[in-house]
Every structure is written in C-alpha cells, then in structure tokens.
Amino acid sequence: MQVIFESRHPDGSELREQAVARVRFAMRRLSALVPRAKVRLSDVNGPRGGVDKRCQLALSTVGAGEVVITTLAQDWRTALDLSLGRATRALKRALRRQQKPARTRWASRAIEP
C-alpha cells in the first residue's frame, strides 16, 4: 500500500513516520483493497490552540471508490487515530454493501396461475 503524507505545519511533518506506520497498521487487513492512502494534516486556526488539528484521510479503494474522512481534534495523534477508526468502519460498510445481495420481496416472486 502506498501512503502519501502531506503537512505544511512544522509539527505535523515530525509525525510523518508515525502517521505512515499507523495507517499501515490500521489498514493491514484491508491492504489488498486499498492500494493508496493519503494523509493530510493541517492546523485550522494557527498557534491559537483549541480543537483545531485537522486530519483528512483519503483512501482509494478497488471496489468502493474513494473514502474521504475529515476529523478535528486537540492534537495530531488523536485526529489521526479518530480518522483511521472512522475510515475503517466506513470502508467495511461500503464493501459489505457491495457483497450483500439486494433483498427481494416474496410477493413479487410468487407464481400466479
């Protein structure tokens, strides 16, 4: 799996290795279905503090298209972990929808004389 990391903030670039390792660990079971992941870390309002660390995670998948998750948190690690949790749940749900056959009504299948 190819992991692309983007961050303009100096603190965000220090997390490059940790972010790539976390993405690969979280997607280890789904890595055959996710050939590319893009992690973008940004600071919404600069040095003022608060809940302003944004993590945008874009997963390009084989069968479910592209899954994009954006999360805000107090620090970079929490934002990344929340995004990864939401992304894995969304990806599993999208893949489950594709595998599950459509429900049919029994009334429409009844044979009429």
- For the chain, what is the domain count? 1
Count the neighbouring beta carbons within 10 Å of the beta carbon of residue 98.
8
The amino acid at residue 50 is G
111 in any annotated domain: no
81 in any annotated domain: yes
Whether the Cβ atoms of residue 41 and residue 80 lie closer than 8 Å to each other: yes
Domain that holds residue 29: 2-102
107 in any annotated domain: no
- CATH code at position 93: 3.30.160.100
Tokens of 21: 């390792």
d(CA 68, CA 82): 13
91 in any annotated domain: yes
108 in any annotated domain: no
110 in any annotated domain: no
pLDDT tens track, the chain, 113 positions: 888 898 887 766 678 888 889 999 988 888 888 889 999 988 887 767 667 889 999 998 887 788 899 999 988 899 999 999 999 888 888 878 777 666 666 655 556 55
